[in-house]
Amino acid sequence: MMSQSTTVILKDNWRFSKEVKGDAFSTDYDASKWEKVSVPHDWAIYGPFDKKWDIQTGIIEQNGEKEATEKTGRTGSLPHIGTGWYRNVFSIPEFRKGKKALLVFEGAMSEPQVFLNGKKIGNWGYGYSYFFIDITNDLIAGSENVLAVKLTNEPFSSRWYPGAGLYRKVSIVVKENESFAQWGTFITTPDTKDNNAIVDIKAEFHGSNVSMVTEIKDAKNKLVATQKSTETEDGKFHQTISVGNPHLWSPETPYLYTAVTKLFAADGSLKDEQNIKFGIRYIKYESNKGFSLNGKVTKFKGVCLHHDLGPLGAAVNKAALKRQLTILKDLGCNAIRSSHNMPSFEQLELADEMGFMFLAESFDEWAKPKVENGYHRFFEEYAEKDIVNLVRATRNHPCIVMWSSGNEVPDQYGAEGLTRAKFLQDVFHREDPTRPVTVGMDQVKQTMASGFGSLLDIPGLNYRVHLYEEAYKAFPQGFILGSETASTVSSRGIYKFPVVQEKNKQYDDLQCSSYDLEACSWSNVPDDDFVLQDDKSWVIGEFVWTGFDYLGEPTPYDEKWPSRSSYFGISDLAGLPKDRFYLYRSRWNTKDNTLHILPHWNWKGREGEITPVFVYTNYDSAELFVNGKSMGIQKKNNATPQNRYRLMWNDVKYEPGTVKVVAFDSNGKIAAESTVKTAGDPYKIVLDADRKTIKADGEDISFVTVSVVDKNGIPCPTADNELQFKVTGAATYRAACNGDATSLEIFHENHMKLFSGKLVVLVKSIKTAGKIQLEVKGNGLQTGKINLKAEL
C-alpha cells in the first residue's frame, strides 16, 4: 500500500478574540461568540489608528539621538499590543495509530503558547520564527481536536509595525514513522562545469532498513536524472547526482528543477515522498572582484523590505507579494533583503520563480536591547534554535545567496559582541556551509577597531558612505556591501520649494518633498550611493531602504501626529511608484527606457515663480520645452552626484500648460519624448487593474489603481476627493490605500480620500468563479467602473 506525508493547512474555521475570560485553552470552552477568521490573520490592521497604542519614549541611538523623546507613530499607531486567542476545532482523517504528526507555525506574533485538547504542548519566543511541535501523542485519531493558541504582544517590543496574530500559515503534517525529517533535506549544486552539474542531496530520515530514490525533473516535468541509495550515515542519505546540460538559475533566467525524493521500506512500500524545487547555480565572493553568479560578476541592485503588506498588514498574501515583486522587476531590482527578520515561505517561492537574489535576515537585536521588550529577552535561549529553523526551512531556495545574523545590533561594541557575532556566524556555517554571513553595521568606526567587521564573511555597511574607503582598507575581505543604503524620504506627488538638498527637513503638512533631495541625519540621497556602486569595483551592491513604504517608523516625523508610516519607500504604501522609482529605474532597468518628468504641472498661485524641473532617464541628454519654448539642453556630467544621474532645469518659471522633454541617444538623435500637462478640475474616475482575471480561491487579489482625470483625460495630480467603493459578483471589497503617511482613514472601510490624485482598491476573490465589478463613486465626478472575473 502506498503511503506518504500529507499536509493539512488550517486556514478556515478559526475563532479569534482579544476579550477572553476563563480557560480559553480547555476543550469545553465556549468560543461560539468569538469572531470568525481565516488564517493568515492580523488582528491589528483593522485599526483604528490612535497614537495611544504604543507610545514609546526613548533615545534611538542608531539615529544619533542624544535625548529621549516621545515617538507617537513608531509602531504604526495600530492596536497590536495585548493578548489574543485563536481556537480551531478540526479532525485529521489521514492520522491514525502508527503515524506521526507535526504542527507547523510559519509565524505567530508573538510569544505563542500552544494548547491541544486542553494540554499545553509548546511555546516559542520570537514572533518571526518558523517552528514545529510534534503532536503525535496528543492528536486524537478519528475525532475532533481543539487547538488553542495564545499570542501576546508586549508594549515597547518593536521599532516598526510588527502585526499581530497568526499572520502566516498554520499546518499539520502527517507522516509515517519511517519518514523524512521535517526540513531535513539539503540540496546543493557544488560543482558546475563542462555542461554538467553535480546535485548534492543530504536527507535526514526516521526509521531503519529503508532506501531512497531521487528523481530530478526539469521545469517541463521531464525526468533528467535518477539515483537509488541504500547506504546511510548518521541518519542521512547522501547522493551526488549528475545533471547534463543544466539550465542555470539567475535573476534573468530563474529556472527551477524539482527533486522528487522517495523513501521506501524494505518490503518495497513507499513510506514518504518529498517534492523540492531547487535551482542549479554557483556563487562566489572574491577579494577585489566581488560577487559572481554562475561565473559572471553581478552587483546587487537590491531593496530592503519589511514584512507588512500595507493595507493587509502583516497577514501574508501571495498575490500582494507577487505584485510587489512585479513592480520591483520593472524597477530593474535583482535582490531583496528581508528586514529585519525571517522572510515568509511565499516570498522565497516567488523570488525563486521570478528571479530575485535574497539576503535572508534573522534578528534586529541580539543580547543588548534597542527596545525594552525586544528580542534580547529571548537571545540566550532561542538564538541558535531560531537560526537552525531559518536555515533548515529555507536553504533549498536558490534565491538565497547570503544570510544576515543581525541589523545594527548594539552588540557591535565590545568583546561580548565579537563573541556573539562569531557564535551566530558559526551556527549559520554549520547548518549551511555554502553561503556567507553578513551583519548590517552602522557603528563602522567601532567595528573597524574591535575586529567585528573583519570577522564577518561579508562586511555590510548601513549608510556611512563617507567611510566606505576607510572600511575597505581596514577590513580584510576585499569588498564592501551596502547592506542598507539611502533612506531618502519623499511623499508621492508632493513637492516643496525652494528645491534644496536638506537633512531632517520638516514641513507643517508632515510630508516630504518628492524632488528626492531630502534624507535623515544619518542617511543620504540615492546619487551618493550610485557613485560608489559605479566607481568602486569592490562595492558589491546595495540594498536600498526601502522598496516600499511600511507601517511605522515615520521618520522624520516620528515625534509628530498624525504620522504613522514611513517615507523611505521607492514606492508608497499602496505600491504606487514615487518619482524616486524612476531615478532607480533609469540605472537599474537596462532593458527598458526610462523618461520621467517631475514635478506635476498644477501650481495655481506659483505663476512666474521658480519651479525646477527634473528628468529621470537612462538617456544622457535631453531638451526641455515649456509651452513650446525651449529651456535648453541638459547633459549629465560629473559636477555633482545629482548632475551625474539627473537632468535638472533649476531656473524654470511656472506657467500653466505643457512641459515636454525630448531625450537624445548617444548620436544626438531624438530617442524619446514625454509630456506633463496642467489639469483642469476633476471630472471622471478612471480605474486600472493590475490583473483583470484572478483565481477563485478566496485569497487572490486584484489591485485596482483609482485616479481622477479632467474633461480632457489629463490626470489631476492634486485631487483629494473622497471616493466610495462597491464590489459586486464573485469577490469582496478587501481594503484601500492612498499612500498618505498621515491618513488616519481605516483601510478596510469602503471609502477613502485620494492622495496626490490616486489610491488603490483591493478586490479579493471568494471561492466561487464568476464576474466581478468594482464601482467607484465621488461627489460631482463621473463614476468609474471596471469588470473583472474570477476563475477556478
DSSP H or E stretch at residue 459? strand 458-462
Q: Which residue has the cell 503588506?
A: 309
Domain 286-487+522-568, CATH class in plain words? alpha beta
Whole-number pLDDT of residue 2: 42
Cα–Cα distance measured from residue 107 to residue 105, given in angstroms and rounded to the nearest whole number: 6
Cα–Cα distance measured from residue 519 to residue 146, given in angstroms and rounded to the nearest whole number: 51
Q: Is 484 a catalytic residue?
A: yes
709 CB contacts (<8 Å, ≥6 apart)? 679, 682, 683, 684, 686, 715, 716
From the list 176, 178, 346, 408, the catalytic residue is 408
Amino acid at 293: L
For residues 432 and 403, the answer to whether their CB atoms sit within 8 Å is: yes
Phi, psi angles (nearest 5°) of residue 749: -75, 155
Other beta carbons within 10 angstroms of residue 412's beta carbon come to: 24
Express as a percent the part of the chain with pLDDT over 70: 99
Torsional sign, CA 11, 259, 199, 245: negative
Average pLDDT over residues 213-239: 96
| Of residues 216, 213, 217, the one with CA closest to residue 227 | 213
Strands 502-503 and 480-486: unpaired
| Of residues 103, 146, 145, 139, the one with CA closest to residue 124 | 103
- Please name every residue paired with 519 in a beta bridge, in sequence order, or none if there are none: 488, 503
Express as a percent the part of the chain with pLDDT over 90: 96
Checking if the pLDDT of 391 tops 80, the result is yes
> Using one digit for the tens of pLDDT, what is the confidence trace for 67-116?
888 888 999 999 999 999 999 999 999 999 999 999 999 999 999 999 99
Q: Which residue has the cell 539615529?
A: 63
| Of residues 781, 728, 791, 738, the one with CA closest to residue 761 | 738
Assign 66 a pLDDT band (cuts: 50, 70, 90). confident
Average pLDDT over residues 152-166: 97
Other beta carbons within 10 angstroms of residue 500's beta carbon come to: 11
> Using one digit for the tens of pLDDT, what is the confidence trace for 616-649?
999 999 999 999 999 999 999 999 999 999 999 9
> Using one digit for the tens of pLDDT, what is the confidence trace for 459-499?
999 999 999 999 999 999 999 999 999 999 999 999 999 99
What the block records as the C-alpha cell of 461 is 555597511
Checking if the pLDDT of 60 tops 90, the result is no
Checking if the pLDDT of 58 tops 90, the result is no
For residues 443 and 449, the answer to whether their CB atoms sit within 8 Å is: no
From the list 178, 361, 484, 623, the catalytic residue is 484
Whole-number pLDDT of residue 680: 98
Domain 6-44+80-176, CATH class in plain words? mainly beta
Is domain 179-278 in CATH 2.60.40.10, yes or no? yes
CATH architecture of residue range(s) 684-791: Sandwich (2.60)
Whole-number pLDDT of residue 57: 84
DSSP label of 247: P
Q: How far apart are the first and last CA of the chain?
A: 32
What the block records as the C-alpha cell of 40 is 493568515
For residues 688 and 757, the answer to whether their CB atoms sit within 8 Å is: no
Helix, strand, or coil (residue 773) = strand
Q: Classify burial at 262, counting beta carbons within 10 Å of its beta carbon; exposed 0-12, middle 13-18, buried 19 or more.
A: middle
The three-point CA angle 422-425-299 to 5° equals 125
Cα–Cα distance measured from residue 137 to residue 100, given in angstroms and rounded to the nearest whole number: 8
Whole-number pLDDT of residue 3: 56
Assign 62 a pLDDT band (cuts: 50, 70, 90). low
Is 0.85 surpassed by the pTM of this model? yes
For residues 559 and 72, the answer to whether their CB atoms sit within 8 Å is: yes
Q: What are the residue boundaries of the structural domains of the chain, listed by start?
A: 6-44+80-176, 179-278, 286-487+522-568, 684-791
What the block records as the C-alpha cell of 418 is 565579537
- Side-chain-side CA neighbours of 416 within 13 Å: the count stands at 8
Q: Classify burial at 560, counting beta carbons within 10 Å of its beta carbon; exposed 0-12, middle 13-18, buried 19 or more.
A: middle
For residues 117 and 89, the answer to whether their CB atoms sit within 8 Å is: no
Q: Is 408 a catalytic residue?
A: yes
Assign 1 a pLDDT band (cuts: 50, 70, 90). very low
Checking if the pLDDT of 194 tops 90, the result is no
Q: Which residue has the cell 540615492?
A: 526
DSSP label of 504: S
3-state secondary structure 306-370: CCCCHHHCCCCCHHHHHHHHHHHHHHCCCEEEECCCCCCHHHHHHHHHHCCEEEEECCCCCCCCC
- Please name every residue paired with 758 in a beta bridge, in sequence order, or none if there are none: 707, 755
179-278 matches 286-487+522-568 in fold: no
Average pLDDT over residues 539-551: 98
Average pLDDT over residues 26-52: 97
Other beta carbons within 10 angstroms of residue 613's beta carbon come to: 23
Whole-number pLDDT of residue 538: 97
What the block records as the C-alpha cell of 425 is 556566524
Average pLDDT over residues 533-562: 97
